[in-house]
Amino acid sequence: MKIIICLKQVPARDAVLRLNSASCWIEESDLTFEVNEPDLYALEEALRLKEKHGGEVVVCTLGPARAQQAIKEALAKGADRALHLDDNVFISLDAFGIAQALAAAIRKEDPDLVLTGLQSDDSGFAQTGVILAELLGLPHATIIMEIQAQEKSLKVKRELEAGWFEWMELPLPALLTIQSGINKPRYATLKGIMGAKSKPIQKLGAGELALTAEALEPRQKITRVYTPVKAAKTQFFEGSPKEIAETLLDKLKNEARVL
Amino acid sequence: MSETILVFAEHHAGKLARPAWEAIAAAQHLAGDLKAGVVAAVLGENPGAMANELAQADVQQVLAVASPLLREYTSDGYAAAAAQLIRERKPQYVVFSHTYQVRDFAPKLAARLGGGLASDCLGYRCEGRKVIFVRQVFQGKFYADVEFVGAPPYSVSFQASAFREDAVQRGPAPAPVENVAASLDASTIRVKPGERFREAKQAVDLAQAEIIVAVGRGIKAPENLEMAKQLAEALGGELGASRPICDSGWLPMDRQIGSSGQTVAPKLYLALGISGAIQHQVGMKGSKTIVAVNKDKEAPIFEVATYGIVGDLFEIVPPLTDAVRKMKSR
Ligand SMILES: Cc1cc2nc3c(=O)[nH]c(=O)nc-3n(C[C@H](O)[C@H](O)[C@H](O)COP(=O)(O)OP(=O)(O)OC[C@H]3O[C@@H](n4cnc5c(N)ncnc54)[C@H](O)[C@@H]3O)c2cc1C
């Protein structure tokens, strides 16, 4: 089975985020980045499917030079090779444009299965995977918590709201968006890290992918990013932990009357 | 002719769900600002009864879009039927609630129609005829203004309870219902849905708990759960968690609170090291009193907290547990 795993880099979870001077995105210099969490689970799922059924796992990442780090991590964990979509015209694409670029790269690979995370921890549009399926003409299923691969089809467990699930079937080739928690992602081994160094990373720009400016035209744009205005009804307590504990209990007992 | 806002009414097995009414409330609101008309659409095998129910709302028209192939939800069937409808009716905006079902087919639909989809929005504001949608980015740490570019239809999905079900305006008389036959080809529906089910073992019912002490990723390691457990015991409450704690297997899934777990409304909810992502908030913001302990003063959990403590939970919790024990023994 040939599997493409789309994986992106996002600011590290504990990173302190600051707005950029134009207030239209965050300041990316001096920031640490990591692989988007759901994408890590998608990668793990791809590696497990390969271990079980054979085949190849190809990482596909759109992002600037720094994204190499995410790609290397995936290769160290066991992916076979990578496509790195990097071009100045890719910088401010919306979900549709990103899916267009990914589709152009993935089409040439003709995979059996495409996996993506269900959404990213930065923009969080939760659209790229589904748009990608439409552009590739593939059936898809979202928010997947289990995959059983058969010869020519997949049986997948789709998460629904409020603790419900649904089994569904779809023919291959197909695209799935993966939910966090589907598996326990592995760590890279030292051997894997060494081995990754010789794995091929193919760089692809808009030219190589025959992408016109028109195809990448955004359908929406983020015009401003800002700190949320707090409704600010919250009462904050300060002091030593012991003082805070006493004040809180007093409030819970005598003001909120919940104790 | 005035512009149309098409609103999609979600249902499960023939029953209109809360997101359907929230979407209608959103569409009515937007229509008020744009002086547009609202048309509601419901898709199904026999959507007639639901269409009649929707017609009670103050809308221009209700479309009952029927096909045997719409008996069960599939992304293929819904996207195809909705695309047909939108191509015919040419609405300016298409409004959804940001549910699992909408996440599954709306991006496909928008891509097919060539318009944008502003997903998971909190609200919007108007500047003249221009509508600016507001949504969270970076897991709620920041908000972003989003504008559409290019040609309509512009699709937008709103977060749960961004607009309230009880804000739906009723019409003076039922709106006209039009039956629309969707022409779908069975061979284009590639996904086959099966039964819906719940994982069997449900050891605790957190919905019954009066006090919940919930832990998030700030608890750092499974061995630290004991500390939270002791606070819960001292308070006579139950232990709950955010999703990553259950994903990691530190606590069973029946302790998970949020959109994919339990919805709770205890009289007291303590959130320890939980950032307060929307998917967590929807499961607990109905709690009477919310206490949040988080070392990041910008954490979104403080937006719903009654009482906030900016600090390290490992320093705050032990003395709090002691103080609770002392109070109870008095
Ligand atoms: C479709 C979908 C469904 C989802 N369903 C759910 C759901 O049902 N329930 C749910 O909870 N999530 C759900 N999520 C995940 C959700 O988006 C968040 O990722 C998750 O809630 C984050 O959990 P957290 O707050 O524990 O972790 P984080 O967001 O990592 O937050 C950890 C917090 O701990 C604080 N912290 C760290 N150390 C300390 C310390 N020593 N003292 C005090 N504070 C500290 C940090 O400042 C931070 O705010 C869902 C996501 C999706 C996409």
Single pTM value for the model: 0.96
Q: Mean pLDDT, to the nearest integer, of B75-83? A: 98
Atom of ligand 1 nearest to the CA of B274: 25
**Which of B231, B269, B279 gets mutated to test ligand 1 (max ligand atoms within 8 A of its CB)?**
B279
8 Å CB contact between B178 and B235: no
Output the pLDDT for position A203. 98
Each residue's pLDDT tens digit, B312-323: 999 999 999 999
Q: Mean of the per-residue pLDDT values for chain B?
A: 95
Kindly list the residues from chain B whose CB atom is less than 8 angstroms away from the CB atom of residue A218: 116, 149-150
User: Does the pLDDT value for residue A215 go beyond 80?
Assistant: yes
User: Does the pLDDT value for residue B13 go beyond 80?
Assistant: yes
Cβ-based neighbours of A27, under 8 Å, separated by 6 or more: A17, A18, A19, A20, A21
Q: Mean pLDDT, to the nearest integer, of B107-121? A: 97
Closest-CA residue to A247 (of B288, B228, B307): B307
Q: Name the region of B35 (left: φ>0; alpha: ψ -120 to 50; beta: rest).
A: left
The reply to whether ligand 1 has any atom less than 6 angstroms from the CB of A177 is: no
Give the Cβ contact number of residue A190 at 10 Å: 8
Name the 3-class secondary structure at B136. strand
Give the Cβ contact number of residue B56 at 10 Å: 14
Name the 3-class secondary structure at B316. helix
Q: Name the region of B27 (left: φ>0; alpha: ψ -120 to 50; beta: rest).
A: alpha
Output the pLDDT for position B199. 80
Q: Mean pLDDT, to the nearest integer, of A58-86? A: 98
Each residue's pLDDT tens digit, A143-193: 999 999 998 999 999 999 988 999 999 999 999 999 999 999 999 999 999
Cβ of A162 within 8 Å of Cβ of B145? The answer is no
Q: Which protein residue's CA is at the shortest distance from atom 2 of ligand 1?
A: B279
Q: Mean pLDDT, to the nearest integer, of B78-103? A: 97
**For residue A250, what pLDDT band results from cuts at 50, 70 and 90?**
very high
Output the pLDDT for position A43. 98
User: Does the pLDDT value for residue B1 go beyond 60?
Assistant: no
Q: Mean pLDDT, to the nearest integer, of A100-111? A: 98
- Map out the domains of chain B with their CATH numbers: 4-188 (3.40.50.620), 206-329 (3.40.50.1220)
Give the Cβ contact number of residue B97 at 10 Å: 27
Element (H, E) at A241: helix A241-250
Return the structure tokens found at A204.
């692809």
Each residue's pLDDT tens digit, A218-244: 999 999 999 988 766 899 999 999 999
Kindly list the residues from chain B whose CB atom is less than 8 angstroms away from the CB atom of residue A148: none
| Smallest Cα distance from B137 to chain A, Å | 5
Each residue's pLDDT tens digit, B155-164: 999 999 999 9
- Map out the domains of chain A with their CATH numbers: 2-204 (3.40.50.620)
Kindly list the residues from chain A whose CB atom is less than 8 angstroms away from the CB atom of residue B147: 220-221, 223
Q: Mean pLDDT, to the nearest integer, of B275-303? A: 95
Each residue's pLDDT tens digit, A144-154: 999 999 989 99
The reply to whether ligand 1 has any atom less than 6 angstroms from the CB of B258 is: yes
Which of A252, A253, A257 would you mutate first to test chain B, the one with the most B CBs within 10 A? A252
Q: Mean pLDDT, to the nearest integer, of B265-276? A: 97
Kindly list the residues from chain A whose CB atom is less than 8 angstroms away from the CB atom of residue B120: 124-126
| Smallest Cα distance from B108 to chain A, Å | 5
Nearest-CB residue to B289 (from A143, A249, A256): A256
Amino acid at A21: S
How would you classify the pairing of strands B154-158 and B117-127?
A: parallel
Output the pLDDT for position B154. 97
Q: Mean of the per-residue pLDDT values for chain A?
A: 96
Nearest-CB residue to B117 (from A127, A222, A248): A127
| Smallest Cα distance from A114 to chain B, Å | 15
Output the pLDDT for position B205. 86
How would you classify the pairing of strands B192-198 and B93-97?
A: unpaired
Nearest CA in chain B to A185: B248
Output the pLDDT for position B200. 64
The reply to whether ligand 1 has any atom less than 6 angstroms from the CB of B19 is: no
Give the Cβ contact number of residue B233 at 10 Å: 15
Cβ of A134 within 8 Å of Cβ of B107? The answer is yes
8 Å CB contact between A154 and A42: no
Atom of ligand 1 nearest to the CA of B296: 47
Q: Mean pLDDT, to the nearest integer, of B20-28? A: 98
User: Does the pLDDT value for residue B292 go beyond 80?
Assistant: yes
Output the pLDDT for position A92. 85
Kindly list the residues from chain A whose CB atom is less than 8 angstroms away from the CB atom of residue B324: 249
Cβ of B319 within 8 Å of Cβ of A242? The answer is yes
Name the 3-class secondary structure at B8. strand
